[in-house]
Amino acid sequence: MIFAAAQSNPVQGAIHDNVEEHFRLIHLAAQHSVELLIFPELSVTGYVREQGHKLALTEFDAAINILVDKAEDYNMHIVAGAPIYKNKQLHIGAYMLGPNDYLDMYTKQFLHDGEEKFYVPSQQEAPILSLNDEHFAPAICADIEHEEHPQKASQDGATIYLPSIFYTPASIEGAHGKLSGYAQRNSMDVLMSNYVGSCYGAEAGGRSAFWNNKGDLLGELNATDSGVLVIDKSESKYQVSAHYLCD
């Protein structure tokens, strides 16, 4: 099984430009035979709060249909983030897309302070994606601040935990420590995807990373460049490689 984290540099509110960067990162991942690619929190819109209701996507939005086509073209599952309207409520969500018109969605269960003014948390949409012998459980940003979240994913049968985040340079080291601990305590691999660049008035910390189910850090991207961190897992053996758009 080959899976990867995409580290992107989104422009706040610029859906067209952000989708174009998704295309470039999907193409880069496809060059390394990636079967599942995860993007950071709100990757399609960039991180937004006040604009969330204006930029929210629907289940069959044009931007999502384009990504569905890419998933089909490359025979790849893609997890990409956006504000999502579901049952007349606005959520921070992640679309889970794949070949043969596969489409599901995950909604953020825990919000950062201030997000509750614009978004509603929800535990109703928490699918686990099964590919080959692996079971992938998404998470979005503040979800990882609550240990019960990865615990529940493990209890539900997840073998790989997939946090999509937007963490700053000051907070990314703490996130690394938490995720290493979750991997060890829950016997799950953990693959995390973060932004680089500036968004919503803050700098992103990059350093998207992968830990095995013993909590060992096996690889990470740098703090500044868009790219993909590719994990080739065969039984309990891992090969991890970093690839950048600027290379």
Average pLDDT in the chain: 95
Q: pLDDT (tens digit, 9 = 90+) per residue, 182-205? A: 999 999 999 999 999 999 999 999
With tokens 């999509």, the residue in question is: 164
What would the CATH number be for the domain defined by 2-244?
3.60.110.10
Question: How many Å apart are CA 162 and CA 138, to the nearest integer?
Answer: 5
**C-beta neighbour count of 76 within 10 angstroms:** 22
With tokens 């983030």, the residue in question is: 81
What type of residue sits at position 31?
Answer: Q
Q: pLDDT (tens digit, 9 = 90+) per residue, 60-73? A: 788 888 999 999 99
How many alpha carbons lie under 13 Å from residue 51 in its C-beta half-sphere?
A: 12
**Which residues lie across from 164 on neighbouring strands?**
140, 193
pLDDT, average across residues 146-153: 97
Buried b / exposed e over 55-68, threshold 16 CB at 10 Å, is bbbeeebebbeebb
Angle, CA of 75, 188 and 59, to the nearest 5°: 45
> What's the predicted TM-score (pTM) here?
0.97
Domain boundaries, the chain: 2-244
Angle, CA of 110, 137 and 108, to the nearest 5°: 20
Q: Residues of the chain with pLDDT > 70: what percent? A: 100
